[in-house]
Chain A
């Protein structure tokens, strides 16, 4: 089946620094990927839609200058948290719709970001 990976699985950074999270579709191409944020014991909140070859589409309330998304190839999307603050600490998850059955989303394992 389709597999989505994320790197790193966890990261700790200091306040004010930037962190890049990678999302890869391992055995299929994804022209679209989605980035979610999940707070402890809460639901997944869609942050943005990453589009290969064009700008990402951000959900209302998500700062595009803070959460930079780049979809450089058909298998890679990156989320960069710029000038991170402790309130950015969260679990970030990406997903991609399948090629054959686009209704099914394949999720990455998530990246835990802790900003100190």
Chain B
């Protein structure tokens, strides 16, 4: 079964601290993994995808097929990073996205 798991509902850190938002997935095949972000009172938007292997707003995420994980990391959190983060999976030959339950990141000054 396809499933995305985000074990933390809330992650609170102080500004400048490192951040890691965990995501594990279950999929029989090679999925595509994404991180979407929803800032307060804004719509959901794409943050990054595993294929591009790029850093967006200082965030990176590496797909670990052995551990079936796609954790989102940032070495120094900023207050403007406070938002809801969703890990999502897209299977082969489909545009459907399966979302995790989301993690709320709070960055305190």
Contacts and interface: CB of A to CB of B under 8 A. Distances in A.
17 contacts: A32-B95, A41-B9, A42-B101, A43-B86, A43-B99, A44-B44, A46-B96, A46-B97, A46-B98, A102-B95, A103-B32, A103-B34, A103-B51, A105-B46, A107-B45, A108-B43, A109-B43
B74 interface: no
Interface string A71-89: 0000000000000000000
A15 B25 CA distance: 38
A49 B49 contact: no
A71 B44 CA distance: 22
DSSP majority for the A interface?
strand
Interface residues of A, number: 20
Interface of A: 32, 34, 41-46, 49, 93, 95, 97, 102-105, 107-110
A97 B46 CA distance: 11
Contacts of B43: 93, 107-110
Interface in B90-109: 90, 95-102
B95 A97 contact: yes
Contacts of B95: 32, 34, 49, 97, 102, 105
Contacts of B96: 34, 46, 49
Contacts of A109: 43
